[in-house]
Structure 1
Amino acid sequence: MNLDSVKAIDVHTHAEVGRDGRTSLSPALLGASEDYFKAHGHRQPSIAETADYYRSRNMLAVVFTVDAEHATGHPRISNEEIAEDCAAHADVLIPFASVDPYKGKAGVREARRLVEEHGVRGFKFHPSIQGFAPDDRMAFPLYEAIEELGAVALFHTGQTGIGAGVRGGGGIRLKYSNPMLVDDVAVDFPDLRIILAHPSFPWQDEALAVATHKEHVYIDLSGWSPKYFPPQLVRYANSLLQDKVLFGSDYPVITPDRWLADFEKLEIKDSVRPKILKNNAARLLNLEDPK
């Protein structure tokens, strides 16, 4: 893959609708997310439409869904389907997968198959929606497989718009997305490459501490407009964590167009901007080294 012409690598985009039109979450939870992000009326794009969007902008995008069948009872979108559709657009899309940790040995077998046979490069976890604590030993066999396969583990951290305003938060417990729970994962799986997704409100300092302390822990900046980033996040991105911070949008609820426009106004050093937008992700994902 030649990255010379690539403007940026978006490490956080969602595939929320399958080929059959079925969504990855229930209408109630998706509706709450639309309310939270003020994204009423936006249509969930197909993977082909996502590819066209990023191709027209000379960007690459990591694509994934969330498998939360155990906690929600809602059938997931097939990981194989997402990987196959991404493979049809391999010039711009990078497939990640999601395996519910409650699936045990079957989930471990699936993870291996997805990497070895479908080219999946990483796995998305959403502890609050999936209903598990990242440091629960139930998930350790899955982490072990991901580490052994050389894939990336991406954890949602902080508050989530999914379930916001729904009675009882739709049963979603925010405490599971405290990034400090991922610190134990980084200790017990020291070679596992980990991304802490989002500015981790209300645990931003915890996320910065873990990423600074643990060698293979990164932070993506998705889910927030850069104009709302906490000042300490900007300070660390400009200094101690300049090689471990990644561009992510949360497309389609936040578009890279909006994110990048606001990022332009952020006080980020000229030497750091290309690291955040492309170089750090290229290195983490084992893509061709940018020149």
Structure 2
Amino acid sequence: MSPNVIDCLVNVHFGETAKQPEFMRKVRDDYFKGPSSLYEQIELPALLDEMDAHGVTKAILMDNIAKPSMTAREFVTQRPDRFALAMGGINLLRPVASLRELTALTADLPVAYAVVGPSFWGDGQYPPSDAVYYPLYAKCAEIDLPLCVNTGIPGPPIPGEVQNPIHLDRVCVRFPELKLCMIHGADPWWDVAIRMLIKYQNLRLMTSAWSPKRLPEPLLHYMRTRGPGKVIFASDYPVLRQHRVIPEARALDLPPEVLQRYLHDNAEEFFFGTPTTTATTGPATAAEVG
């Protein structure tokens, strides 16, 4: 029997913007070569139908403190059993008001994690090791809220070096209490990301916006050996549709118990605090390291 799925990054807010910025249209046309419907309004019944067809029991919807998504919050209100929120839009240069709002929202809404994209924020001039992020790190650690940080070169034509996962090395050292997840893969720095995952117990990686059949073999090897509990599935719907990426994920050369963790259990444990019976990490044998 195929495992159930938690889709940890779904966008339902694209249709709320009357005119998408040029860089977003370019990433659709030049990078993802997506359909013209990518930025149309998403309706709840259609999303639920696609989720049900592919075993998605829960989806985490992108939201924003500065520009709340009425669509995401309506979906959560109507179906709290199927949806939670990911909260972005934190003002890192004037953080107090944003962090107060984040704390209040986590008390009132099912917020699964906070999110920040270094390339998309501050013109890409602040890597995650910069002190401007420290209030956010401290607050998320204080309220036990996972934080997701974009890693890897982004699709839009904006600066990418700040999303090298090595910038999280110092963060993990200084904030060991922080539940931290790299999202959107880590291309072209996959090897750095894997070494970081081995090194830090509080760190995870999400494969959002990556077609599973395009995931590099070193990552799959790590999942089969030292890291069955460290890698988390997401689609980045509608950039990549569930009807494409979930069958691809189920076709990966992974043992059933590792696939179960990748598609469901790791997210359930990391974002929703539900322990699983399979060990997430552990000492590796010489064969596993190789």
What does residue 71 of structure 1 align with?
none
Could you tell me how far apart the structure 2 residues matched to 1:52 and 1:188 are? 43
Q: Which runs of 4+ in 1 moved over 4 A?
A: 287-291
Tell me the alpha carbon deviations over residues 36-67 of structure 1, each in whole angstroms, 9 at most, x when there is no partner.
Answer: 11103124343735345324544111111467
- Structure 1 length normalisation: TM-score? 0.83
What does residue 192 of structure 2 align with?
206
Q: 1:151 to 1:83 in 2, by over 3 A?
A: farther
What does residue 138 of structure 2 align with?
144
Could you tell me how far apart the structure 2 residues matched to 1:113 and 1:213 are? 33
What does residue 78 of structure 1 align with?
68
Could you tell me how far apart the structure 1 residues matched to 2:91 and 2:243 are? 32
Paired residues in the alignment total 269
Q: 1:57 to 1:226 in 2, by over 3 A?
A: closer
What does residue 281 of structure 2 align with?
none
Residue 225 (structure 1) shift: 1.3
- Among 42, 49, 53, the residue aligned to 1:46: 42
Could you tell me how far apart the structure 1 residues matched to 2:63 and 2:36 are? 20
8 Å Cα contact 2:13-2:71 kept in structure 1: no
For structure 2, list consecutive stretches of 5 or more residues without a partner in the other structure.
Answer: 278-290
Could you tell me how far apart the structure 2 residues matched to 1:289 and 1:26 are? 40
Tell me the alpha carbon deviations over residues 69-90 of structure 1, each in whole angstroms, 9 at most, x when there is no partner.
Answer: xxxxxxx531676345423221
What percent of counterpart residues are identical? 25
- Among 22, 33, 37, the residue aligned to 2:27: 33
For structure 1, list consecutive stretches of 5 or more residues without a partner in the other structure.
Answer: 68-75, 164-168
Could you tell me how far apart the structure 2 residues matched to 1:81 and 1:189 are? 34
Could you tell me how far apart the structure 1 residues matched to 2:80 and 2:25 are? 31
8 Å Cα contact 1:83-1:119 kept in structure 2: no
102-111 vs 138-147, which moves further: 102-111
- In the alignment, is residue 107 of structure 1 matched against residue 90 of structure 2? no
8 Å Cα contact 1:17-1:77 kept in structure 2: no
What does residue 285 of structure 2 align with?
none
- Among 147, 150, 153, the residue aligned to 1:156: 150
- Among 230, 234, 240, the residue aligned to 1:244: 230
Could you tell me how far apart the structure 2 residues matched to 1:197 and 1:104 are? 22
What's the secondary structure of 2:185's corresponding residue? coil
RMSD: 2.5
Tell me the alpha carbon deviations over residues 1-58 of structure 1, each in whole angstroms, 9 at most, x when there is no partner.
Answer: xxxx97111112223336xx326x9431220121211103124343735345324544
What's the secondary structure of 2:254's corresponding residue? coil
- In the alignment, is residue 217 of structure 1 matched against residue 206 of structure 2? no
- Among 95, 119, 134, the residue aligned to 2:128: 134
Q: 1:119 to 1:94 in 2, by over 3 A?
A: closer
What does residue 7 of structure 2 align with?
10
